[in-house]
């Protein structure tokens, strides 16, 4: 009897263990993201991160799950809670449980934005999404509405802290779904009757991003998938046609990876001129080559340029099809109007721009040339540092685009560069017509040469006549 009781007890224990393991595995299933056609928020691949870890790492604040809970960001975690608390104690504020209910309803949707499994419980994920999302929304509201600010708030009191927070909000690994932010904004702003912020959240977000513009950007109507994607939309025009790399022989695209143009100094010596062209709504990709002149939009290079470009490139590298949220709609419009330049989801425009600048800039002399022509505004001070920045931006990049944006531009520039007459003409102008005195000396030398030739000719004719 005693032996049978022992066997029964062991059997029940084993059953309980089995059930516990089953429950644990089912819980694991809940954390596995579904296989979707595309994601929006990624980890930076190691091949890119290893080139410059700091460019992808938050300085003062963590946003989202990838850096959540790290000790170095604890101070700002308290500040996030201050933002939430200061809202909740205002008159007419929305009760906290309403905010929680909203984010709970978006929890599954938000998880699917992340390419990597997020091993947070539902409670942990919702708390993180609510606190971080509220912080972003309230920061953008306070940026536009100073009445909402606390006079002792270090973010607005210290310019460098604001810049650091702004920079951290544009890291690839620090993104929240834009639709979650927009939903939170609607809930918060509609209830905050005393400090209501006018305008749709999309316009407010673009205005917030305008705080840092390394080049002249536009404000679009496309809704980005997150703030970094929205920043990319500011660099490009949604209906801007992308050059097609298709000719009858089908050779163009096959060879573009090895297709380069000479540096700015080499092009200048070959007679190509550089000009900065600032126009309203001009964007990063509008680079033109017309009658020997290369028109390039001006670019401010400072201590935030590398981080922004690296994260934009990482976004394009990780998801070529996620770069344009309205591609399908735009392609339909283009087909309807008979425009053959339909946008292809595999394009990587910012990466292609980085390739262009990497070709043009090899040394500090190239930076100096572009700076002198108003194309580079060097706020780093050292031209060599700018040269190193662009020379390293393409490290770790793999070619995956179905279109190279500047192919036609490269073709025209190389054709001009390889024509000997242009180089001869440039050398002649540079060596003999660079100053008025040099021009007079050259004319005098030519005149003397002609006189000598005429004199010799008359002497020959005189001898023949005799």
- b/e code 153-177 from CB counts within 10 Å (16+ = b): bebbeeeebbbbbbbbbbbbbbbbb
Domain membership of residue 68 (yes or no) is yes
Domain membership of residue 74 (yes or no) is yes
Domain membership of residue 36 (yes or no) is no
Domain membership of residue 34 (yes or no) is no
pLDDT score recorded for residue 436 = 62
Higher pLDDT, 6 or 455: 455
Question: How far is the C-alpha of 311 from the C-alpha of 318, rounded, in Å?
Answer: 10
Instruction: Count structural domains, the chain.
Output: 4
Summarize pLDDT for 322-352 with one digit per residue, the tens. Answer: 444 334 333 332 332 233 333 344 578 889 9
Verify that 21 and 109 share a domain, yes or no: no
Verify that 82 and 177 share a domain, yes or no: yes
CA distances (Å), 24 to each of 112, 117, 124, 135, in order?
21, 16, 18, 34
Domain membership of residue 6 (yes or no) is yes
Is it the case that residue 131 has pLDDT exceeding 80? yes
Summarize pLDDT for 383-392 with one digit per residue, the tens. Answer: 999 999 999 9
User: Does pTM surpass 0.75?
Assistant: yes
Is it the case that residue 174 has pLDDT exceeding 60? yes
Verify that 262 and 144 share a domain, yes or no: no
Specify the 3-state DSSP secondary structure of 275: strand
Summarize pLDDT for 71-107 with one digit per residue, the tens. Answer: 999 999 999 999 999 999 887 788 999 999 999 999 9
Verify that 271 and 406 share a domain, yes or no: yes
Question: How far is the C-alpha of 84 from the C-alpha of 165, rounded, in Å?
Answer: 17
On whether the CB atoms of residues 241 and 339 are closer than 8 A, the answer is yes
pLDDT score recorded for residue 93 = 82
Verify that 386 and 445 share a domain, yes or no: no
Verify that 304 and 162 share a domain, yes or no: no
Residue 26 confidence class, pLDDT cut points 50, 70, 90: confident
**First-to-last C-alpha distance (Å) of the chain:** 151
Q: Is 372 exposed, middle or buried (0-12, 13-18, 19+ CB in 10 A)?
A: exposed
pLDDT score recorded for residue 322 = 41
Verify that 152 and 14 share a domain, yes or no: no
pLDDT score recorded for residue 365 = 97
Verify that 17 and 121 share a domain, yes or no: no
- Look at residues 189, 205, 221 and tell me which one is the last residue of a structural domain: 205
Residue 30 confidence class, pLDDT cut points 50, 70, 90: low
Question: How far is the C-alpha of 112 from the C-alpha of 33, rounded, in Å?
Answer: 6
CA distances (Å), 327 to each of 110, 116, 182, 243, 333, in order?
22, 25, 21, 15, 10
Verify that 53 and 155 share a domain, yes or no: yes
pLDDT score recorded for residue 153 = 96
Domain membership of residue 211 (yes or no) is no
Question: How far is the C-alpha of 138 from the C-alpha of 119, rounded, in Å?
Answer: 27
Verify that 330 and 197 share a domain, yes or no: no
Q: Minimal CA–CA distance to 395: which of 314, 302, 459? A: 314
- For 433, half-sphere exposure in the C-beta direction (CA atoms, 13 angstrom radius) is 7
Is it the case that residue 377 has pLDDT exceeding 90? yes
Radius of gyration of the chain (CA): 31
- At which residue do the structure tokens 């909203």 appear? 102
Count of Cβ atoms closer than 10 Å to residue 67 Cβ: 17
Quote the domain boundaries for residue 4.
1-26
- Look at residues 176, 205, 234 and tell me which one is the last residue of a structural domain: 205
Rounded mean pLDDT, 195-203: 88
Verify that 21 and 69 share a domain, yes or no: no
Domain membership of residue 228 (yes or no) is no
Average pLDDT over the chain reads 80
Verify that 301 and 419 share a domain, yes or no: yes
Higher pLDDT, 257 or 302: 302
Is it the case that residue 218 has pLDDT exceeding 90? no
What ranges make up the beta strands (E) of 68-186?
A: none
Question: How far is the C-alpha of 146 from the C-alpha of 195, rounded, in Å?
Answer: 10
């Amino acid at each position: 009897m005693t032996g049978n009781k022992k066997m029964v007890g062991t059997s029940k224990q084993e059953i309980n263990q089995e059930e516990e393991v089953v429950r644990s595995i089912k819980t694991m299933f809940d954390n596995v993201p579904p296989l979707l056609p595309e994601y929006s928020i990624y980890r930076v691949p190691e091949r890119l991160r290893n080139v410059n870890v700091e460019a992808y790492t938050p300085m003062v604040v963590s946003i989202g799950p990838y850096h959540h809970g790290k000790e170095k960001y604890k101070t700002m975690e308290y500040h996030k809670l201050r933002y939430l608390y200061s809202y909740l104690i205002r008159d007419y504020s929305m009760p906290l449980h309403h905010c929680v209910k909203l984010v709970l309803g978006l929890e599954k949707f938000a998880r699917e934005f992340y390419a990597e499994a997020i091993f947070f419980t539902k409670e942990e994920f919702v708390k993180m999404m609510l606190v971080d999302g509220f912080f972003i929304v309230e920061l953008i509201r306070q940026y536009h509405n100073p009445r909402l600010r606390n006079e002792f708030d270090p973010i607005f009191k210290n310019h460098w802290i604001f810049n650091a927070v702004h920079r951290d909000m544009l890291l690839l690994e620090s993104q929240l779904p834009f639709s979650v932010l927009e939903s939170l904004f609607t809930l918060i702003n509609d209830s905050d009757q005393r400090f209501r912020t006018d305008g749709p959240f999309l316009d407010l977000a673009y205005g917030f991003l305008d705080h840092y513009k390394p080049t002249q950007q536009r404000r679009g109507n496309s809704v980005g998938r997150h703030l970094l994607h929205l920043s990319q939309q500011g660099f490009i025009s949604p209906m801007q046609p992308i050059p097609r790399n298709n000719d009858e022989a089908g050779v163009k695209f096959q060879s573009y990876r090895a297709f380069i143009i000479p540096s700015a100094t080499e092009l200048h010596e070959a007679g190509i001129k550089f000009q900065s062209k600032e126009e309203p709504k001009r964007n990063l990709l509008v680079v033109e080559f017309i009658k020997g002149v290369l028109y390039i939009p001006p670019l401010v290079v400072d201590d935030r340029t590398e981080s922004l470009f690296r994260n934009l490139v990482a976004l394009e590298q990780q998801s070529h099809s996620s770069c344009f949220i309205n591609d399908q709609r735009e392609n339909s419009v283009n087909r309807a109007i008979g425009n053959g330049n339909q946008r292809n989801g595999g394009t990587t425009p910012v990466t292609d721009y980085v390739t262009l600048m990497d070709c043009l800039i090899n040394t500090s002399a190239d930076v100096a040339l572009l700076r002198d022509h108003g194309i580079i505004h060097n706020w780093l001070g050292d031209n060599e540092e700018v040269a190193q920045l662009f020379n390293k931006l393409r490290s770790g990049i793999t070619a995956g685009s179905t279109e190279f944006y500047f192919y036609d531009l490269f073709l025209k520039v190389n054709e001009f560069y390889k024509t000997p007459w242009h180089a001869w003409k440039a050398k002649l102008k540079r060596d003999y017509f660079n100053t008025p005195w040099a021009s007079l000396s050259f004319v005098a030398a030519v005149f003397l040469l002609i006189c000598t030739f005429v004199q010799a000719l008359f002497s020959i004719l005189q001898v023949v006549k005799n």
